[in-house]
């Protein structure tokens, strides 16, 4: 028996467990088919389902609900909150809660639960950054106040992305047995295999059409095989599989800010970090090299050739989001302008056709994670694209551990993409130089720093937008490709799904970094558009 048939056999076994019982009647099964979906949309959350440890920050927390949320146009809407306001000095955020919300165990959600959630998250040391939070105060059962160390307009994203957990039912195993006020509740988790959830009868919002969901934890190849066998209703797949038709299913391509681009070390060589890691790259420290690469890239060719057309050209870390500066883009594939920039900066081709300046040859290694086919293909394609310009890139795959040691001195094919403008601060502020994967190129620009600080100190996200945009390009400088060109962004991936014919998955937002779980953000809108047989 070959691997494909073994896989299908295993999947069918999981589905029989999830969808049937020994005494199920034909009527029960028909109803289950109508109200039950089988999904293979992504990997298993390694840390479980605890929002205080990061669950749900990309997309919906599913089991929990949040104080605020964003609509398709990224406008802020109320969820658990009835209202919120910010003090004139930006230090106190007061949130009023609706009074009709209960957790799935029937207990009412109050300000005590909100305070407990944020205090727990702040103390967790997880990926959730609440270092700006000084304290949380419960004013009354429906009112909570957040006191910040200093003004920060992006704190609103914490209210949007943090699912609220119950103080009375939270413990060390909460991540495996979550209780929340979201549209679904956990019924069964077979680790490494599947997650079965059912509709939360206590849910205060629009009750979901589908009352039972089974999530299968499959690779994209395995998910495709399951879709081909007719065993799943939604499958997350890679661009390499998108050209193959699957009977009874439609290919849905969702736009995203899940980007890929080259991070450039911007400092010259010669120094080391406190840990003894090398800093700087003499070639990419030259702004003319970085700008020429940005201008010479034919991004649409990368979309067509590497992604099979399933993506869009990328120019920044936040294309199309409200804080994106469209003026920071430029014309693609302009070799003539790129050559002019290099010539004016003193670069000229040697007898081998490679650019050289004062004995420095325009050659450098471009690192990518060895197990990532798309990043490998982008790296190789970019190297081929730059060779006629006289810039020689050597694409090389390494482990993430190796890349982490080399990232301050060697360009890396990275990926980001977030609904939070704080990502721009993290990637380009002088304050974040060398912090984990943030600002790995050690970029610094005092004018950019000033704009980033003004964006944070603004009284609202709306007021902050102008400063986020100026940090990218203010007409004279910025971190974007018209300014310091600290990165060469290449493409935004489409997130690809095979969706059962007749299944409407709602009005999806532009997707963030991370294929899979974000599609569940509007899961209460999902429904059949035709009667299923």
278 and 224 belong to one structural domain: no
Q: What is the pLDDT of residue 34?
A: 80
Q: What is the pLDDT of residue 58?
A: 73
Q: Of 492, 375, 487, nearest to 428 (Cα)?
A: 487
Give alpha helix (H) positions in 80-200.
111-123, 155-161
Mean pLDDT of 134-162: 96
Q: What is the pLDDT of residue 313?
A: 97
Question: How many whole angstroms separate alpha carbon 66 and alpha carbon 495?
Answer: 24
For residues 144 and 111, the answer to whether their CB atoms sit within 8 Å is: yes
Q: Mind giving me the DSSP string for 91-124?
A: -EEEEEEPS--B-TTSPBP-HHHHHHHHHHHHHS
Q: What is the pLDDT of residue 38?
A: 97
Q: Exposed (0-12), middle (13-18) or buried (19+): which is 459, by Cβ within 10 Å? A: middle
Confidence of residue 116 (pLDDT cuts 50, 70, 90): very high
Which has the minimum average pLDDT: 90-94, 359-363, 366-370, 521-525?
521-525
Question: Is the model's pLDDT at 43 over the cut of 80?
Answer: yes
The number of distinct structural domains making up the chain is 3
106 and 175 belong to one structural domain: yes
1 and 68 belong to one structural domain: no
Which has the minimum average pLDDT: 92-101, 125-134, 291-300, 523-532?
523-532
The 3-state secondary structure of 219-268 reads CHHHHHHHHHCCCCCEEEECHHHCCCCCCCEEEEEECECCEEEEECCCCC
- On whether residue 66 sits in a domain, the answer given is yes
CATH number of the domain at 36, please: 3.40.190.10
Question: Is the model's pLDDT at 60 over the cut of 60?
Answer: yes
- On whether residue 126 sits in a domain, the answer given is yes
CATH number of the domain at 379, please: 3.10.105.10
Residue at a domain's end among 146, 179, 212: 179
The mean predicted confidence, pLDDT, of the chain is 91
User: Which of helix, strand or coil describes residue 57?
Assistant: coil
127 and 115 belong to one structural domain: yes
Question: Is the model's pLDDT at 352 over the cut of 60?
Answer: yes
Question: How many whole angstroms separate alpha carbon 104 and alpha carbon 179?
Answer: 6
Report which of residues 433 and 17 the model is more confident about.
433
Task: Determine the structural domain holding residue 336 and report its residue range.
Answer: 259-493
Q: Exposed (0-12), middle (13-18) or buried (19+): which is 421, by Cβ within 10 Å? A: buried
Q: How far is CA 194 from CA 39, 177, 186, 207, 491, in A?
A: 10, 15, 11, 23, 32
Which has the minimum average pLDDT: 20-24, 59-63, 490-494, 508-512?
20-24
Question: How many whole angstroms separate alpha carbon 286 and alpha carbon 271?
Answer: 17
Mean pLDDT of 139-155: 97
Report which of residues 22 and 514 the model is more confident about.
514
Question: How many whole angstroms separate alpha carbon 130 and alpha carbon 23?
Answer: 50
Q: What is the pLDDT of residue 18?
A: 43
Report which of residues 82 and 518 the model is more confident about.
82
263 and 312 belong to one structural domain: yes
Q: What is the pLDDT of residue 417?
A: 92
124 and 246 belong to one structural domain: no
150 and 4 belong to one structural domain: no
Which has the minimum average pLDDT: 104-108, 329-333, 502-506?
329-333
444 and 531 belong to one structural domain: no
For residues 96 and 139, the answer to whether their CB atoms sit within 8 Å is: no
Confidence of residue 33 (pLDDT cuts 50, 70, 90): low
- On whether residue 186 sits in a domain, the answer given is no
Q: Which residue has the tokens 């927390």?
A: 61
Report which of residues 60 and 274 the model is more confident about.
274
Mean pLDDT of 420-439: 95
248 and 263 belong to one structural domain: no
- On whether residue 318 sits in a domain, the answer given is yes
517 and 460 belong to one structural domain: no
For residues 183 and 62, the answer to whether their CB atoms sit within 8 Å is: yes
For residue 453, the tally of other CB atoms under 10 A from its CB is: 15
108 and 169 belong to one structural domain: yes
For residues 312 and 320, the answer to whether their CB atoms sit within 8 Å is: no
Q: Mind giving me the DSSP string for 206-217?
A: PPPS--EEEEE-
Mean pLDDT of 167-178: 96
Question: How many whole angstroms separate alpha carbon 109 and alpha carbon 144?
Answer: 12
Q: With residue 330 as reference, give the H or E element that holds it.
A: none
Mean pLDDT of 317-324: 95
Question: Is the model's pLDDT at 98 over the cut of 80?
Answer: yes
Residue at a domain's end among 179, 205, 232: 179
Mean pLDDT of 168-172: 96
Confidence of residue 517 (pLDDT cuts 50, 70, 90): confident
Return the structure tokens found at 302.
């990368």
Question: Is the model's pLDDT at 153 over the cut of 80?
Answer: yes
Q: What is the pLDDT of residue 531?
A: 53
410 and 359 belong to one structural domain: yes
């Amino acid at each position: 028996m070959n691997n494909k048939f073994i896989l299908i056999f295993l999947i069918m076994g999981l589905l029989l467990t999830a969808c049937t019982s020994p005494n199920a009647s034909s009527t029960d099964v028909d109803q289950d088919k109508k109200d039950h979906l089988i999904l293979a949309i992504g990997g298993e959350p390694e840390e479980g389902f605890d929002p205080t440890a990061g669950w749900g920050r990309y997309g919906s927390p599913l089991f929990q609900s949040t104080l605020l949320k964003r609509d398709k146009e990224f406008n802020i809407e109320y969820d658990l909150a009835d209202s919120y306001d910010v003090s004139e000095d930006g230090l106190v955020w007061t949130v009023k809660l609706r009074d009709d919300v209960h957790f799935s165990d029937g207990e009412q959600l109050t300000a005590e639960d909100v305070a407990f959630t944020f205090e727990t998250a702040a103390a967790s040391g997880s990926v959730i950054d609440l270092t700006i939070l000084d304290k949380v105060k419960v004013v009354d059962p429906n009112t909570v106040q957040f006191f910040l160390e200093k003004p920060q307009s992006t704190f609103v994203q914490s209210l949007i992305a943090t699912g609220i957990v119950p103080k009375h039912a939270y413990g060390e195993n909460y991540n495996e047995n979550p209780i929340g006020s979201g549209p679904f509740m956990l019924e069964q988790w077979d680790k490494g295999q599947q997650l079965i959830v059912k509709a939360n009868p206590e849910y205060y919002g629009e009750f979901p059409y589908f009352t039972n969901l089974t999530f299968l934890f499959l690779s994209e190849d395995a998910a495709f095989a399951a879709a081909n066998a007719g065993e799943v209703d939604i499958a997350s797949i890679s661009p390499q599989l998108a050209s193959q038709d699957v009977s009874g299913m439609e290919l849905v391509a969702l736009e995203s800010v899940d980007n890929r681009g080259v991070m450039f070390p911007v400092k010259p060589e010669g120094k080391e970090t406190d840990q003894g890691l090398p800093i700087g790259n003499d070639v990419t420290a030259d702004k003319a090299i970085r700008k020429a690469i940005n201008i010479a890239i034919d991004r649409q060719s990368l979309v067509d050739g590497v992604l099979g057309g399933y993506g869009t050209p990328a120019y920044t870390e936040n294309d199309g989001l409200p804080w994106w500066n469209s003026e920071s883009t430029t014309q693609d594939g302009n070799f003539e302008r790129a050559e002019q920039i290099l010539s004016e900066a003193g670069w000229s081709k040697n007898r081998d056709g490679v650019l050289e300046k004062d004995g420095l040859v325009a050659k450098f290694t471009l690192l990518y994670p060895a197990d990532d086919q798309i990043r490998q293909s982008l790296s190789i394609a970019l190297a081929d694209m730059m060779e006629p310009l006289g810039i020689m890139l050597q694409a090389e795959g390494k482990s993430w551990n190796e890349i982490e040691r080399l990232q301050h001195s060697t360009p890396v094919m990275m990926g980001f993409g977030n609904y939070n403008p704080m990502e721009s601060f993290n990637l380009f502020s002088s304050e974040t130089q060398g912090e984990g994967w943030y600002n790995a190129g050690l970029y610094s620009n005092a004018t950019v720093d000033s704009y980033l600080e003004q964006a944070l100190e603004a009284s609202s996200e709306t007021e902050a937008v102008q400063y986020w945009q100026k940090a990218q390009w203010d007409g004279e400088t910025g971190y974007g490709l018209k300014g310091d060109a600290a990165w060469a962004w290449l493409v935004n991936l489409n997130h690809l799904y095979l969706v059962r014919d007749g299944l409407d998955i709602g009005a999806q937002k532009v997707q963030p970094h991370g294929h899979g779980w974000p599609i569940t953000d509007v899961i209460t809108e999902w429904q059949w558009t035709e009667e299923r047989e």
